[in-house]
Amino acid sequence: MENNGRRKFLGVCLAGASAAAAAAAVYPVFRYLAPRSDQQGSNKVEFAESDLPAGEAKFFEYAGSSAVLVKTSAGAVVALSAVCTHLGCIVQWEKDKQDFLCPCHAGRYTPDGTVVSGPPPRPLAKIPVSVANGKITVG
Amino acid sequence: MALIKRLYNWLDLRIGAKEIVEQELTGYLLPRNINEWYSLGSVLLVIFTLQVVTGLLLLVYYVPDAEKAFKSVTYIMNELPYGWLIRLCHAVGSNMMVAVLIMHMLSTLFMKSYKSPRELNWLTGFLLFTLVQGISLTGYLLPWSQLSFWATTVATNSAAAIPVVGPYLVEFLRGSKLVGPATLGRFFALHVGVIPAVIAGLIGAHLFCLKRTGISTPPFGDQVETGSHWNPEHYRYESHPGGIPFFPNYALQDLTSIGVYFAVFLAVVFFAPNLLFTPDAFIPANAFQTPAHIKPEWYFLANYQTLKIFPSELLGLSVQAAAMTFLALLPFIDRSPERNPFKRPLFLVCFFGGFLLWVGLSVWGHYS
Ligand code: HEM
Ligand code: FES
């Protein structure tokens, strides 16, 4: 019986050492392949207000994802995530209709991101934006 | 434990797992006087696997473009988490593979296991050796550093000594008159695509021959018949009735050797990471500036020095070609059935003399 206990103990040691070695190999590989957080763009973006005429939209990269800035014909400035809430396509600005169309499954949003028609379940996510001294600051 | 047993039974009922284990592992008997040197083949299999895995990981970020290659390697080394580890494992591993390959070759040479009926084992092994040299040479260029660039220039240039076709051959190897972006393209394709596939195939052939012939009996010790009992009239599998089982006995030796290998390999990776890199390895390739001391990697130093000592490059090249051909065809040249090296004084002298000559030339090449 004593012999069996020793066998078991050594078995557990061996299994433990193997698990530790496997973890020591897998962890660096995971870190090596993991997407890098410091690459995801800066968190504040600035534009000159004159760059954005009323009724136009401007697409840009924000926090590693796509965002859009719109100035409605009424003159309000809105910043939205450009990622459609249905299956993640990027919405397009339709200047003539003054709305967003998602080309994937024809989801439609108003300039402030509210769903008008189509499959999107939620409005486009809002991004904080402020206008001061002729500068638009997003984020 | 019980779960593993049940899973094993489940598998056995479907694919006859126990029969395979009985045939290939517990019932696969090896000569009683088998020694440590027979585990080097398993070590090589592990190294090759590791080279494939680390190579694929490097491919995720490496860019094979003359403008970007050096930058991408620097990025892997300095910025990616554990990129240095992956790259060092690949670079150090390639050198270790050549070293272990040489040991494996020397041991099968010394124990004369290349003799009939194992000529094909030796030949496939010899081809593997040249291909591993080839994969190291092509891989050396990829970081596109001063070291890679000029080592490749010198290495490819030696083919120019071949009469008539030499100069064209050099251009063909490089894909352009001088080493340049075209060279990187073809070396990259060879290094990550062509050569690994051929090596994998040859490893298969090497192991197939081993399986069909049966493992050789070491030619030492008392209970051994040292002469090959091979009968040239019939195919016969060399079995070892009453031998030790591969599993667990020899598998433990394989594991031990792999453990010792990892100790040495990781010691270099962690404690001497710059062993292989000269300062020129940290400078991007510059086609207009040859650095002062361009030397090939250690395992090519003997070839390098041989080229230098002969008055004509053609002569130096021919001598090397002759030596390689002699080694490749050794099983057909040395045909005596006696396998005990201690009963073959001439062989012993050639074996140690040849090895010392190779070491001597390498050391000379290093300091010249
Ligand atoms: C990628 C490189 C190689 C791998 C993965 C490899 C693998 C193996 C393995 C697993 C074995 C069986 C166990 C052993 O005796 O070690 C073996 C046997 C053998 N190898 Fe290799 N090998 C390689 C290269 C070479 C080279 C370069 C030579 C010599 C030119 C060679 C000659 C032999 C011989 C003659 C045997 C038979 C040994 C015997 O039956 O006693 N191998 N190899
Ligand atoms: S992804 Fe936009 S509507 Fe389907």
A54 assigned to some structural domain: yes
Asked if B56 reaches chain A (Cβ–Cβ under 8 Å), the answer is no
In a domain, A91, yes or no: yes
* Domain ranges, residue A88: 45-138
Please state, in angstroms and rounded to a whole number, the distance separating the CA atoms of residues B244 and B257: 18
Closest residue on chain B to A11 (Cα): B1
Q: CB contact, 8 Å: B86 with chain A?
A: yes
Q: Are residues A131 and A90 in the same domain?
A: yes
Query: Could you read off the pLDDT of B293-309 as tens digits, one per residue?
Result: 889 999 999 999 999 99
Q: Is the CB of A113 under 6 A from ligand 2?
A: no
> Do A88 and A30 have their domain in common?
no
Mean pLDDT for chain B?
A: 94
The answer on A68 and A2 residing in a single domain is no
3 state SS of A70: strand
* Cβ within 8 Å, pair B57-A28: no
| Cα–Cα distance, B296 to B278 (Å, whole number) | 11
Tokens 């696969």 locate to B28
- Quick check: B121 and B206 in contact, CB under 8 A? yes
Are A88 and A129 within one domain? yes
Report cis status (omega within 30 of 0) of the bond before B291. Answer: no
Q: What is the CATH number of the domain that holds A93?
A: 2.102.10.10
Whether chain A has a CB inside 8 Å of the CB on B57: the answer is yes
Report the Cα B103 to chain-centroid distance in Å: 10
> Residues B114, B252: contact at Cβ < 8 Å?
no
CB of A86 closer than 6 angstroms to any ligand 2 atom: yes
Question: Looking at the structure, do residues A69 and A4 belong to the same domain, yes or no?
Answer: no
- The answer to whether residue A40 sits within a structural domain is no
For ligand 1, what atom is nearest to the CA of residue B132? 1
Helix segments in chain A, DSSP class H: 2-33
Interface of A with B in 94-113 (CB under 8 A): none
Give the number of the ligand closest to the Cα of residue B200.
1
Q: Where are the domains of chain B?
A: 300-368
pLDDT of residue A38: 62
pTM listed for this prediction? 0.89
CATH of domain B300-368: 1.10.287.980
Q: Are residues A19 and A84 located together in one domain of the fold?
A: no
Same domain, A99 and A133: yes
Query: Is A39 inside a domain boundary?
Result: no
**Domain shared by A21 and A51, yes or no:** no
Q: What is the pLDDT of residue B222?
A: 63
Residue B100 — pLDDT band, cuts 50, 70, 90?
very high
Give helix then strand counts, H and E, for chain A.
1, 11
What's the gap in Å between the CA of B81 and the closest CA on chain A?
5
Specify the higher pLDDT residue, A39 or B38: B38
Per-residue model confidence (pLDDT) at position B233: 86
Can you tell me which atom of ligand 1 is nearest the CA of B47?
5
Is the domain of A94 the same as that of A120? yes
Q: Please report, rounded to a whole number, the percentage of residues in chain A having pLDDT higher than 70.
A: 94
The maximal CA–CA distance of chain B, rounded, in angstroms, is: 72
Number of compact structural domains in chain A:
2
- Are A10 and A61 in the same domain? no
pLDDT of residue B226: 47
Do residues A69 and A79 lie in contact, with contact meaning Cβ atoms separated by under 8 Å? yes
Provide the edge-to-edge strand list for the sheet that holds A57-62. Answer: A57-62, A65-71, A77-81, A126-127
Give the other-Cβ count within 10 Å of B95's Cβ: 17
> Same structural domain for residues A64 and A129?
yes
pLDDT band at B221 (very low <50, low <70, confident <90, very high): confident
- The DSSP secondary-structure symbol of B311 reads S
Task: Name every chain B residue with its beta carbon within 8 A of the beta carbon of A29.
Answer: 57, 82, 86
Nearest CA to ligand 1 atom 24: B125
Residue B267: Cβ within 10 Å count: 11
pLDDT at residue A31, rounded to an integer: 97
Q: Which atom of ligand 2 is nearest to the CA of A107?
A: 3
Q: Is the pLDDT of residue B264 over 90?
A: yes
Give CA–CA dist B87/B284, Å, rounded: 17
User: Do the domain assignments include residue A127?
Assistant: yes
Kindly state whether residues A57 and A119 are assigned to the same domain: yes
